[in-house]
Structure formats: C-alpha cells, structure tokens
C-alpha cells in the first residue's frame, strides 16, 4: 500500500545518503563495480516510489495476478515448504486489495495503462475467477504429485488445505479483481497513449529510460539512432531478397510482397505445437555442438516447455531464463519457423538460459548482484547472441537469416516506436503500421508487441542499445588486440560481470583490453 511504499522510500533515501559518504576511488576494483550497481539499483527503486509507479502494477505483457503462477513453479521439498505456499495463497486477497487501492489512486490522477491496450486483458483474470474446481487451477499443480518423503496422510491434509485456500481465498480475490477491472479500471483508464501526457509523465518517461537502458539518452537521441539502424538493416534485408530471386508484383511493392509471402506460405509454419517444440529443441542441440568454442559453459542446463495456456495469448513468442526456455505454441500461424533460430539463440544458449546460469555460478558476490537483472545488459546480450548465431553456423537458409534480420529490425523499430509513442505522440495505428511495414512479424505479434510498448514505456529500448554497446566493445577489442583477440576470452569477460549497467560494462571491458595487451 501507499504507506508501505513511503516507508520503503525512506529506507532507499537513507541508503543513498550513506552511499554519498563513500568515495568509490578508495574501493577495490571489485567493490567499485558493486558500488556502481548498488547505487543504480537503489536510485531506481527510490525514483519509482517517488514517481508512484506502483500505481500502475501491470501492463499488456505482465501483471501481478499472472505472476502468481510463477509462485507455483518454485521448488518445494518439505511439508513446511508446501504449508508456506498455502499461507501465501491465503494471503492473496490482502495483496490484491492493496494493488486495487494503488490502481484506484492512479486512476484518480490519470496515471494508468491506456484504455486502448486493455481489450481482452481481463481474460487472464476471468479464467481463474470463473473456476468451479480449485483442483483445476494452475496454482494447485504442486499438489498433484507430492514428494514420497511426505507421509500419505500428511499429503492428503496438504491437498485439502490447498483446495480450501484456492477455493476460499484465491478464486474470490480474482472475482473481486475482475469486477474492479471491468467496472472501474477500463472505463476510467486514460485515452491518451504517451507516457509524457500523464501527470509527471516527462519525468516518469526519462526515469524509465534511465532504468531500462542504464544510459542518460534523450528520447530524441534514441529516436534518431533507431531511424539510422532501421535504414542500415533494411539494406541487408533487401540483399537477401535479391539472393533468393524474389521479384514481387513490382519493384515498389517487392519488400511488402516478400513479407506477405513469408507471413502466408505454409512451408514456414509448424502444423502442431509439438513440431514447434521439436524444432526449437533441434536448433538448441545444434548450438550445443559448437558453443564451447565461443564461451565457458555453465554447469546448469535448461529444459524447453510450452508457455502456460493462461498467459500464452498475451505473451511474446518465447522467454528464457535459468533452467527454462518457454516456447509459445498458442496461435501457430503467428509463430513463423524462419524466426525460430534467432528466438532460440536469444532465449536459450548462448542467450538468457546460459547467461542466467553463468551469473548464478559466479563466485562470491553480494545478493543484490546475484539476483539482479539489468535489462540493457541482459537483453543486449540476448540480441547479440542472435548475431553470434552467424559465426556458430545456426542459420541454414536465407529465410532463417532474414528471420534474424527481422528480429534485429524489430528491435531497431522499438527505438523508433517507443519514443514515437511516448515522446512524439504517435497513434497506435501508426506504431502498428511502422512495425508491420518493416518486419516479417505476424499480425498477432505486431499488435501484441505494439501494445507492450504502449503499456510498458522504455522497456523495449534496452535490447538494441545493449546490443549496440556489446558490438561496439567487441569491435574495439578486435581493433586494439589484433592477433591477440580471442572471442571466447572476450565473451567470458562480458559474461563474468553478471548483470551490470552498460557504463560499468564499458569500463570493465576497456580494463580487460588493457590487461590482454600486457599479457
């Protein structure tokens, strides 16, 4: 609630005052990095409370109510683990009431998710609110197969308590939230799109840019960089269209005709969810055969699973992290196979699954670093991983290479669209047309993506700005080290940092280059 948020702000402000008393120059090299990361984290935490960002606790991509599902996927071993989980389920009504109060406060001052992206968003609430059997809830999944170490009578008690918690606490809380969402939130949500049009919106958008990119760039600078990248990538795409000999109905419409061919030809789409998962697994295993030449590998591996059906309609094509690569098998005509190699590289190895595992396996690090995920670093590496697939030999056809460029173009378009919407006042229709005209994303992906940018200001900027930084640092290392440049050593230097702000990564890689020169 608001009182708890203000108490948090006092803590963060106190910490920032204490950090001012520390001279980073007096710290060890490792602690200088720790200082920079901790200060960045606390500044963002304080700024978000100061700007009352907690009054908008969801967007078209993520939400506090859908995130409950991840609670059910945590590892539980003992009866006490399961009882703690049941206690959290029983606490859902209090948690939802506080989030609802925050959203009401946001509505009162015009600080909300835009109404334009809320259509159908209530489905993820109603699927739970309208459940008749608590045992059908995804939140009940941990109780379907309990560890053999828990006695049978204890297992039965736990199952009964879980059903009571879901039926008596969770489902009614979702019902209450659904009524609020339909009757109050959607009718009162703002009709403008731009973050800068909200009260305090300019400060809010700048803060979000700093948080997600870790850079002090203006919306105008980011927009101009995006336009430049779009033009560069467009030329590479045209070269592939030349390579495959595609003519189109005319020279003027050739690019649009090629995109239409990719979106509609059955050869580019899986027939079943299993086929999509198998293909993702095949790409991943091909990567396994060569990845050791490019970086040190973590001990932990990952699995490939479909996105849960309750969130799949609103989710992106895939997500990856330590231990899991989620592939979205919902709406197969929206999941082109030519994009799958780039997606798999980004989300599994050498992207997020590897990156997350390596970060967790780093030596002694403070907790605030071990669990950190800084979007510009993490997503920058994910996009860089797609490009690395060329050297790894992952792209087997010109269409798959075009898929890679589509993904890169998509991230460049984000720089243009995010700032276009939130700073220059673009309409949703203009944003959709821009993404549709420049990429081979399906229509479902185009609208899902644009709604994400509208409702989640600045998050989408992190990918391309992070990748540009890593590519620039590699070019610098190759130039300065010449024959002494070693790609595996360079990647290890980037990854061993864990999640860091881009300015910290730059200073660390420059130090790495100087060390290699002396070696």
pLDDT per residue as tens digits for the range 58-82: 987 789 998 898 898 888 999 999 9
Residue 313 is predicted with a pLDDT of: 84
Q: What average pLDDT score do residues 349-373 get? A: 85
Percent residues over pLDDT 90 in the chain: 85
Q: What is the DSSP letter of 308?
A: P
Tens digit of each residue's pLDDT (9 = 90 or more) over 271-292: 999 999 999 999 999 999 999 9
Q: What is the DSSP letter of 374?
A: -
With bands split at pLDDT 50, 70 and 90, how would you rate the model's confidence at 331? very high
Question: Between 75 and 92, whose confidence is greater?
Answer: 92
Q: Are strands 324-327 and 303-306 parallel, antiparallel or unpaired?
A: parallel
Residues listed for the chain:
519
What would the two tokens of residue 429 be? 């229709």
Q: Which residue has the higher pLDDT, 75 or 430?
A: 430
pLDDT band at 312 (very low <50, low <70, confident <90, very high): confident
Q: What pLDDT shows up at residue 442?
A: 82
315: pLDDT strictly greater than 90: no
Output the pLDDT for position 497. Answer: 83
Confidence at residue 104, expressed as pLDDT on a 0 to 100 scale: 98
- The answer to whether 118 and 103 have CB atoms below 8 angstroms apart is no
Contact indicator for 414, 463 with CB cutoff of 8 Å:
yes
303 bridge partner residues: 324
Residues 6+ apart with CB under 8 A from 157: none
pLDDT for 20 equals 97
Q: What is the pLDDT of residue 121?
A: 87
Name the least confident of 162-171, 173-182, 232-241, 313-322.
Answer: 313-322
3-state secondary structure of 106: helix
The pLDDT assigned to 27 comes to 96
- Residue 14 to residues 1, 2, 44, 183, 398, Cα–Cα distance (Å): 20, 18, 14, 40, 56
Instruction: Give the pair of three-digit tokens for residue 340.
Output: 């799958």
Please check the confidence at residue 371 and state whether its pLDDT lies above 80.
no
Q: Give the pair of three-digit tokens for residue 5.
A: 């948020």
Does residue 16 register a pLDDT over 90? yes
Where does the pLDDT of residue 171 fall: very low under 50, low under 70, confident under 90, or very high at 90 and above? very high
What pLDDT shows up at residue 506? Answer: 96
Q: What is the pLDDT of residue 205?
A: 97
Predicted confidence band at 139 (pLDDT cuts at 50, 70, 90)?
very high
The 10s digit of each residue's pLDDT in 196-224 is 999 999 999 999 999 999 999 999 999 99
The answer to whether residue 363 scores a pLDDT higher than 80 is no
Which residue is it, tokens 């490019």?
A: 294
Phi and psi dihedrals of 318, rounded to 5?
-170, 160
pLDDT of 255 above 80: yes
From residue 344, alpha-carbon distances to 221, 306, 324, 364 in Å are 31, 13, 12, 30
Residue 356: pLDDT band (50, 70, 90) is: confident
- State the DSSP code for 58: B
Q: Mean pLDDT score of the chain, rounded to an integer?
A: 94
- At 61 the pLDDT is 77
Predicted pLDDT of residue 24: 95
Residue 373 confidence (pLDDT) above 90: no
CB-count burial class (<10 Å; 0-12, 13-18, 19+) for 494: buried
Q: How confident is the model at residue 364 (pLDDT cuts 50, 70, 90)?
A: confident
Provide the pLDDT for residue 421: 98
Q: What's residue 361's pLDDT?
A: 83
């Amino acid at each position: 609630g608001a009182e708890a948020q203000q108490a948090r702000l006092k803590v963060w402000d106190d910490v920032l005052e204490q950090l001012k008393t520390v001279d980073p120059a007096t710290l060890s090299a490792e602690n200088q990095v720790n200082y920079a990361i901790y200060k960045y984290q606390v500044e963002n935490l304080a700024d978000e409370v100061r700007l009352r960002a907690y009054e908008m606790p969801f967007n078209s991509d993520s939400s506090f109510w859908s995130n409950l599902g991840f609670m059910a996927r945590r590892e539980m071993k003992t009866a006490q683990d399961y009882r703690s989980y049941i206690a959290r389920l029983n606490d859902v009504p209090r948690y939802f009431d506080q989030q609802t109060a925050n959203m009401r406060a946001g509505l009162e001052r015009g600080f909300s998710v835009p109404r334009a992206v809320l259509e159908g968003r209530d489905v993820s609430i109603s699927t739970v609110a309208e459940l008749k059997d608590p045992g059908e809830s995804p939140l009940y999944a941990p109780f379907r197969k309990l560890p053999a170490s828990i006695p049978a009578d204890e297992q039965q008690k736990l199952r009964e308590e879980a059903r009571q918690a879901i039926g008596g606490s969770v489902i009614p809380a979702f019902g209450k939230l659904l009524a609020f969402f339909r009757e109050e939130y959607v009718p009162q949500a703002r009709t403008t799109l731009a973050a800068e049009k909200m009260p305090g919106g300019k400060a809010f958008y700048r803060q979000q840019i700093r948080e997600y990119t870790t850079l002090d760039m203006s919306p105008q600078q980011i927009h101009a960089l995006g336009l430049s990248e779009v033009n560069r990538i467009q030329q590479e795409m045209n070269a592939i269209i030349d390579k495959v000999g595609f003519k189109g109905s005319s020279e003027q419409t050739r690019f649009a005709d090629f995109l239409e061919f990719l979106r509609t030809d059955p050869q580019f789409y899986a027939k079943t969810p299993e086929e999509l998962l198998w293909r993702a697994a095949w790409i991943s295993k091909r990567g396994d055969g060569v990845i050791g030449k490019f970086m040190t590998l973590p001990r932990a591996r990952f699995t490939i699973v479909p996105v849960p059906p309750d969130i799949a309609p609103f989710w992106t094509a895939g997500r990856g992290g330590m231990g899991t690569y989620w592939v979205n098998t919902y709406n197969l005509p929206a999941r082109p196979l030519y994009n799958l190699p780039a997606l798999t590289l980004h989300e599994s190895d050498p992207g997020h699954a590897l990156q997350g595992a390596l970060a967790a396996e780093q030596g002694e690090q403070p907790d605030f670093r071990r669990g950190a995920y800084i979007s510009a670093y993490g997503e920058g590496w994910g996009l860089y991983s797609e490009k690395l697939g060329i050297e790894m030999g992952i792209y087997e056809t010109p269409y798959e290479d075009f898929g890679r460029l589509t993904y890169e173009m998509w991230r460049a378009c984000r720089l243009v669209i995010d700032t276009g919407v939130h700073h220059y006042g673009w309409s949703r229709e203009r944003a959709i047309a821009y993404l549709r005209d420049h990429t081979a994303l399906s229509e479902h992906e185009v609208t899902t993506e644009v709604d994400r940018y509208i409702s989640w200001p600045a998050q989408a900027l992190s990918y391309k700005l992070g990748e540009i930084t890593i590519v620039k640092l590699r070019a610098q290392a190759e130039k300065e080290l010449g024959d002494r440049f070693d790609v595996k050593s360079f990647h290890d230097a980037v990854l061993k940092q864990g999640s860091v702000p881009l300015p910290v990564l730059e200073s660390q890689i420059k130090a790495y280059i100087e060390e290699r020169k002396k070696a």
